[in-house]
Amino acid sequence: MADGAHRPLRADARRNREKILTAAVRVFAAEGLDAHLERIAKEAGVGSATLYRNFPTREALIEAVYRNEVAHLCDAAPALLAEKSPDEALRAWTRLFLDYVTAKYGMIDALRAIAATGGNPYGHSREMIQAALTTLMDACTAAGLIRTDISPTDVGAALEGIALTSAGPEQRPQAERLLDLTLDGLKTRP
């Protein structure tokens, strides 16, 4: 018999899983990672049994929240390119990157604990994020909007540096200014 863990989720089960992940981000942000899981289930509009069926442990939920945030960040790149000019898409994505890093730092101790027990919450997140940034920068380069001598790896390092120094909500204005400065430095000059 095939392993049931690899079967696609029914539509209602998929919706419940998404509602739980969305509620978990809100509750963890408001109450910290020690928030009661029952509170997350209530916020998601599902029963505790549904939450535990999807996420049998707090660690499983935290890891899923993190992976979901990475996926949303990476999935945003093509969506932004479809609705904005390449430079505006890159600018909007860098703001989403800050949101992602702020959420990640709120979970960092829990993610480290998961990694210490042999889990790998980070998986391929760095590669996925780098690929999304490359897509955005390639579109900007093709449109002649940014310099060609700066790699996505360099820009990624700059974004990480900005996030490390300005990840807190009270530092967001500074982070926005630093992002603008970085993006301005990428622009082609006549």
pLDDT digits (tens, 9 = 90+) for 22-35: 999 888 877 777 88
Nearest CA-CA partner of 18 in 52, 80, 68: 68
Report which of residues 29 and 133 the model is more confident about.
133
Distance between CA atoms of residues 158 and 97, nearest Å: 12
Q: Does residue 175 contact residue 166 with C-beta atoms inside 8 Å?
A: yes
Residue 189 has a CB neighbour count (10 Å cut-off) of: 4
Report which of residues 4 and 55 the model is more confident about.
55
- What value does the mean pLDDT take over residues 129-140? 97
**Residue 171 confidence (pLDDT) above 50:** yes
Distance between CA atoms of residues 74 and 65, nearest Å: 14
pLDDT digits (tens, 9 = 90+) for 60-114: 898 888 888 899 999 999 999 999 999 999 999 999 998 888 777 767 667 777 7
Q: Architecture of 62-190 per CATH?
A: Orthogonal Bundle (1.10)
Angle of CA points 77, 80, 84, to nearest 5°: 140
**CA distances (Å), origin 32, targets 68, 108, 151, 163:** 18, 11, 36, 20
Which residues lie closer than 8 Å to 183 by C-beta, 6 or more apart?
87, 90, 91, 94
- What value does the mean pLDDT take over residues 134-150? 96
**Residue 9 confidence (pLDDT) above 80:** no
Tokens of 43: 């916020």
Tokens of 57: 């442990």
pLDDT band at 44 (very low <50, low <70, confident <90, very high): very high
Please compute Rg for the chain using Cα positions: 19
| Residue 8 region by backbone torsions, left for phi larger than 0, else alpha for psi between -120 and 50, else beta | beta
Distance between CA atoms of residues 7 and 173, nearest Å: 45
Mean pLDDT score of the chain: 87
pLDDT digits (tens, 9 = 90+) for 117-127: 777 766 778 89
Domain boundaries, the chain: 8-56, 62-190
Q: Say which amino acid occupies 83.
A: E
| Domain 8-56 class in CATH | mainly alpha
